[in-house]
């Protein structure tokens, strides 16, 4: 793993901060650290409960609770219960740092499962890396995040962007207008999209990179009108910002179809009619016709009632991540970080998404679908891609 | 035509959002940071109407009423005691924002709310389609602007507040109840802020930090306007034009910083802003 000097500096500073924090805590917390062979296995689940993408956390927390209940009612992992503690990263970098510091050095968790934006992940993972704590990052992202302790079961651009561009190409889309957010996720997905558009022989008429707090989309919409593209590629951020964008897009009278890597089924339902016709990819949709998915939806309804949160390709990787971790501990025969990290590249889980297979490069082979939002905000799968390889994300691992 | 319309609608939105802040700044000479919280409060009016299941249009009535009611209370409890300490009001109103935001979180939760808002659809103008909502914003901005101008020029209250703006001590000596003028102005400012918030709700979803991104823009507008209505109109059009022209012919990413640069340049050339009305 190569680091730029500045990054190395930042890492050492955060390590220093972490060390002093441990020192400040004194001996009292020392007893919790490491893995005692008795008692529950502690998993820290970090989600944005506040801030820009907080809308993503309620569905994820539901499926996480369900996974933990399933694991424990089946006798736990090797006879030990799994205990989940939830941490908030406030949707930003600073929150990510605090959450990881708390999880690793205060709570002394055995492993971390994370659903967060890329900036929070980039900020937090080095803290866990120093301590050797396994992290499973459970949401789609821009690819190329590699660390000895980091595993990812969300979609990579190969699994999330390429299929969307592919479907658009088949529909005759040639010229694109690209909207990206000015964060690691947006910039990464835009780079990937441009690569695939280029490979498919399409062209980009204009590209806009916007700060995260856009509320009036008017200027961008004018810009799209002036550029008059065949389609719009939207790589902004999951959750709330979609509402404003799609509402204002429809109101402005624009008709170019939108291909999105920011939308998920739960958000599409909330946006409703304004999102009609938006095409997006994912490894999970509620309409999947497999038995595991039907059981999963029934279990959600039993545990949380008929008005449970809509699971989506944003939240289901979290569910899988808990089961993948349990499988790895089972396989390793202990919750020791080193043993678990050695076992993780080989585990798989047959869940609601279908078969999820971890790879040597710490990413997951996933079944991929492309879907379209209907007039009532519901989503229907329009094309199945089968099991798609995550691509060469970390050839050095 | 399209660009012209874009400029007009962008300017109108800015004008409406900054109006309440300007009123308070003009008469009370304080920057009301709680403006943010009142914007958010107004937007939550649409959450309330959605929950009650009544017409989303009612939000535009509920918002200013709630804003005014809370404005009176805040003025009595906080602002009135700090008139002689303008710097402290900055702190106090910012603190108030935090308190109000937390109260909203306590009442309605931290997450975003998806609300029913009046759907004006698309309007066809000449040979292209345009957002009906945006056209409505222009009309509202014009009405509010003209209404306030009339209020200031033609009514007794307007006369008194202008007297307070020009020379407060003198006004007070002449028997004008300056405290009352200030209270009415602050209340009006809060009502306007809440109304603007209700107008922001249809742009997207509503969350406890909805007002925040608008604060800096509104603040700069009020500074450049120099405390006058006409000045605000000029400033809003200037900002709107910069934003729209830059996004249409250049890069929307650069439009945001450019607006700030323009603000700095204007204040360098005209430290008093566009104050002439």
Within 8 A by CB and 6+ apart from B218, the residues are B14, B17, B18, B21, B35
Confidence band for B276, pLDDT divided at 50, 70 and 90 = low
Round to whole Å and give the CA distance between A152 and A145: 9
Round to whole Å and give the CA distance between A351 and A63: 12
Confidence band for A165, pLDDT divided at 50, 70 and 90 = very high
Round to whole Å and give the CA distance between A386 and A281: 12
Instruction: Give me the half-sphere count of Cα atoms (radius 13 Å) on the Cβ side of residue A57.
Output: 23
- A53 CB near a chain B CB, below 8 Å? no
pLDDT mean across residues, chain A: 88
What does the block give as tokens for A316?
Answer: 């289901």
Q: For residue B98, count other CB atoms closer than 10 A to its CB.
A: 13
Do residues A340 and A149 touch, judged by C-beta distance below 8 A?
Answer: no
Of A4-8, A118-122, A200-204, A259-263, where does mean pLDDT reach its minimum? A4-8
Tell me the residues of chain A between 177 and 196 that have a Cβ less than 8 Å away from chain B: 182
- pLDDT tens, A366-390? 999 999 999 988 999 999 999 999 9
Q: Which of B2, B3, B114 sits opposite A243 (nearest CB)?
A: B114
pLDDT at A37: 63
Within 8 A by CB and 6+ apart from B115, the residues are B46, B47, B49, B50, B56, B201, B205, B206
Round to whole Å and give the CA distance between B201 and A142: 31
Do residues A263 and A242 touch, judged by C-beta distance below 8 A?
Answer: yes
Which residue matches tokens 């500074």? Answer: B223
Q: How far is CA A209 from the centre of its chain?
A: 21
Instruction: Give the number of A-B residue pairs with CB atoms closer than 8 Å.
Output: 103
Which residue matches tokens 């441990």? Answer: A22
Do residues A52 and A93 touch, judged by C-beta distance below 8 A?
Answer: no
Round to whole Å and give the CA distance between A350 and A324: 10
- pLDDT tens, A168-207? 999 999 999 999 998 888 999 999 999 999 999 999 999 9
- B214 CB near a chain A CB, below 8 Å? yes
Round to whole Å and give the CA distance between A15 and B132: 54
Q: Which of A55, A58, A222 sits opposite B6 (nearest CB)?
A: A222
- B15 CB near a chain A CB, below 8 Å? no
- pLDDT tens, A240-275? 788 889 988 988 889 999 999 999 998 888 888 889
pLDDT at B207: 83
Round to whole Å and give the CA distance between B239 and B247: 12
Q: Which of B114, B122, B247 sits opposite A253 (nearest CB)?
A: B122
Tell me the residues of chain B between 73 and 112 that have a Cβ less than 8 Å away from chain A: 110-112
Tell me the residues of chain A between 269 and 308 that have a Cβ less than 8 Å away from chain B: 270-272
Given a cut of 70, is residue B275 above it in pLDDT?
no
CA distances, B131 to each of A183, A252, B121 (Å)? 29, 4, 6
Question: Where is pLDDT greater, at A19 or B77?
Answer: B77
ipTM of the complex: 0.75
Given a cut of 60, is residue A28 above it in pLDDT?
no
- A156 CB near a chain B CB, below 8 Å? no
A122: closest CA among A60, A185, A47? A185
Do residues A371 and A280 touch, judged by C-beta distance below 8 A?
Answer: yes
Among chain A residues, the shortest Cα distance to B249 is held by A223
How is B44-111 classified by DSSP, letter by letter?
Answer: HHHHHHHHHT--GGGHHHHHHHHHHHHHHHHHHHTGGGGTT-HHHHHHHHHHHHHHHHHHHHHHH-SS
Given a cut of 70, is residue A19 above it in pLDDT?
no
Given a cut of 60, is residue B234 above it in pLDDT?
yes
Round to whole Å and give the CA distance between B46 and B64: 12
Residue to substitute from A218, A247, A268, interface B, most B β-carbons within 10 A: A218
CA distances, A12 to each of A9, A103, A127, B65, B221 (Å)? 5, 18, 10, 54, 43
Round to whole Å and give the CA distance between A364 and B3: 47
- B206 CB near a chain A CB, below 8 Å? no
- A309 CB near a chain B CB, below 8 Å? no
Q: Which of A223, A253, A272 sits opposite B248 (nearest CB)?
A: A223
Query: Residue A373 in 3-state DSSP?
Result: strand
Range A321-332 average pLDDT: 95
pLDDT at A111: 96
Within 8 A by CB and 6+ apart from A255, the residues are none
Which residue matches tokens 């990819």? Answer: A281
Q: Which of A213, A223, A239 sits opposite B247 (nearest CB)?
A: A223
Range B247-267 average pLDDT: 79
- B212 CB near a chain A CB, below 8 Å? yes
What does the block give as tokens for A155?
Answer: 């979609």
Which residue matches tokens 């209505």? Answer: B229
pLDDT at A36: 53
pTM confidence score:
0.80
pLDDT at A205: 94
**How close does chain B come to A214, measured CA to CA in Å?**
8
Most confident of A45-54, B20-29, B183-192, B204-213: B183-192
Q: Do B205 and A244 touch (CB under 8 A)?
A: yes
Of A19-23, A54-58, A385-389, where does mean pLDDT reach its minimum? A19-23
- B210 CB near a chain A CB, below 8 Å? yes
- B213 CB near a chain A CB, below 8 Å? yes
Q: Which of A50, A226, A247 sits opposite B204 (nearest CB)?
A: A247
Residues present in chain A in total: 397
- pLDDT tens, B171-227? 888 888 888 888 999 999 999 999 999 988 888 788 888 888 888 888 888 888 877
Q: For residue A370, count other CB atoms closer than 10 A to its CB.
A: 21
Range B39-63 average pLDDT: 88
């Amino acid at each position: 793993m190569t680091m730029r000097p500045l990054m190395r500096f930042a890492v050492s500073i955060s390590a220093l901060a972490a060390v002093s924090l441990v020192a400040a805590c004194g001996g009292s917390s020392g007893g919790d650290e490491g893995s005692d062979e008795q008692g529950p296995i502690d998993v820290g689940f970090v989600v944005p409960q506040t801030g820009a993408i907080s809308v993503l956390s309620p569905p994820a927390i539901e499926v996480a609770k369900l996974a933990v209940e399933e694991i424990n009612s089946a006798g736990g992992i090797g006879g030990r219960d799994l205990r989940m503690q939830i941490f908030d990263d406030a949707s930003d970098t600073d929150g990510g740092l605090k959450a990881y510091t708390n999880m690793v050095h205060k709570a002394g968790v055995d492993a971390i499962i994370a659903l967060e934006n890329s900036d929070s992940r980039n900020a937090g993972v080095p803290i866990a890396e120093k301590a050797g704590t396994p992290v499973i990052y459970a949401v789609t992202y821009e690819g190329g995040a590699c660390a000895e302790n980091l595993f990812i079961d969300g979609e990579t651009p190969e699994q999330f962007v390429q299929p969307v561009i592919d479907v658009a190409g088949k529909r005759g889309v040639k010229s694109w207008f690209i909207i990206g957010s000015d964060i690691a996720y947006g910039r990464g997905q835009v780079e990937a999209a441009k690569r695939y558009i280029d490979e498919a022989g399409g062209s980009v008429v204009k590209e806009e990179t916007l700060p995260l707090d856009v509320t009036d989309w008017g200027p961008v919409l004018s810009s799209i009108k002036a550029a008059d593209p065949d389609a719009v590629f939207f790589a902004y951020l999951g959750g709330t910002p979609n509402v404003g964008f799609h509402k204002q897009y429809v109101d402005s009278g624009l008709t170019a179809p939108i291909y999105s890597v920011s939308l998920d089924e739960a958000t599409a339902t909330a946006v409703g009619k304004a999102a009609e016709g938006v095409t997006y990819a994912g490894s999970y949709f509620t309409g999947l016709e497999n038995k595991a998915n039907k059981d999963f939806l029934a279990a959600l309804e039993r545990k949380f009632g008929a008005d449970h949160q809509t699971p989506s390709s944003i939240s289901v990787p979290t569910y899988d991540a808990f089961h993948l971790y349990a499988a790895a501990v089972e396989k390793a025969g202990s919750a020791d970080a080193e043993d678990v990290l050695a076992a993780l590249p080989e585990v798989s889980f047959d869940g609601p998404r279908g078969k999820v297979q971890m790879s040597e490069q710490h990413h997951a082979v996933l079944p991929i679908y492309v879907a379209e939002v209907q007039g009532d905000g519901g989503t229907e799968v329009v094309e199945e891609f089968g099991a798609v390889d995550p691509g060469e994300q970390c050839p050095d691992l | 035509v399209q660009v012209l319309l874009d400029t007009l609608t962008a300017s109108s939105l800015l004008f409406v959002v900054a109006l309440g802040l300007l009123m308070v700044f003009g008469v009370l000479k304080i920057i009301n940071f709680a403006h943010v919280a009142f914007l958010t409060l107004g937007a939550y009016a649409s959450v309330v109407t959605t929950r009650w299941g009544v017409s989303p249009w009612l939000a535009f009535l509920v918002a200013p009423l709630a804003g005014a009611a809370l404005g009176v209370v805040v003025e009595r409890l906080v602002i009135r005691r700090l008139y002689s300490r303008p710097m402290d009001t900055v702190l106090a109103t910012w603190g108030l924002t935090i308190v109000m935001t937390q109260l909203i979180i306590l009442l309605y939760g931290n997450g975003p709310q998806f609300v029913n808002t009046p759907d004006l659809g698309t309007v066809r103008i000449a040979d292209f389609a345009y957002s009906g909502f945006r056209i409505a914003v222009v009309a509202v901005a014009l009405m509010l602007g003209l209404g306030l101008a009339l209020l200031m020029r033609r009514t007794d209250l307007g006369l008194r507040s202008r007297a307070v703006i020009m020379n407060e001590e003198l006004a007070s000596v002449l028997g004008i109840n300056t405290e009352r003028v200030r209270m009415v102005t602050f209340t009006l400012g809060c009502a306007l802020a809440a109304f603007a918030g209700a107008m922001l709700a249809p742009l997207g979803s509503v969350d406890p930090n909805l007002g925040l991104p608008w604060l800096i823009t509104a603040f700069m507008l009020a500074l450049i306007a120099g405390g006058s209505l006409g000045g605000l109109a000029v400033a809003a059009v200037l900002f709107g034009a910069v934003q729209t022209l830059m996004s249409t012919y250049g890069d929307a990413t650069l439009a945001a910083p450019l607006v700030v640069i323009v603000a700095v340049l204007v204040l360098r050339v005209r430290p008093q802003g566009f104050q002439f009305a």
